[in-house]
Amino acid sequence: MTCQSSESTDAPADPDRRRVALAMKELKNAGWYWGSLTANEAKDVLRDAAEGTFLVRDSSQRDFLFTISAVTSAGPTNLRIRYDGAKFKLDSVVPVRPKLKHFDSVVHLVEHYVQLSRAAAAAPPNGTVPLLLTRPAYAAVPPLQHLSRVAINRRTRRVHDLPLPNRLKDYLTDYFYNV
């Protein structure tokens, strides 16, 4: 499966193709998707970044669509994102895989781990290096409208109850994530 989507209307796309196309749209809206960046290029981008800074890029391994590159206390690391059964989840060693949550989109997956990172207070007691996703590394300066949308979505999930014009509510819900 490739990361590129076809906008052809000749034949209905299969569910996996639609899911990946939607994931791509959401990732592009997020601003922290870097496309075909290599692992070394991601390491260069994250070289002087604070712990918890992350980006999402295309995976260089054929069996995976995407990779999260993040700065840990031990330096930059890469986590593959598995697409299986129309869901996205982090790749892991076989015994742990069934325990990992799965998500409808990559942005939802990242949002989940960002929220966990915000709640994490200390490193695990077993001496492992914790994965924190706290600060996205944007590929370009995001528009003020997008940053405002993210800030509003951090405060409420009830956008339709806000005293705003419908057009603005539609914009806010087009990307309803808070990262």
In the prediction, which pLDDT does 8 show? 45
- Long-range pairs for 117-122: beta carbons < 8 A, 24 or more residues apart: 117/52
How large is the angle between the packed helices 166-174 and 144-155, nearest 10 degrees? 90
Least confident of 2-6, 9-13, 32-36: 2-6
* Rounded-to-integer distance, Cα 77 and Cα 140, Å: 22
**What is the reported pTM?**
0.80
Q: Map out the domains of the chain with their CATH numbers.
A: 15-140 (3.30.505.10), 143-179 (1.10.750)
Interval 23-74: pLDDT, tens? 899 999 899 999 999 999 999 999 999 999 999 999 999 889 999 999 988 8
In the prediction, which pLDDT does 128 show? 55
In the prediction, which pLDDT does 5 show? 41
Strand, coil or helix: 54? strand
Backbone angles phi, psi at 76, to 5 degrees: -65, 145
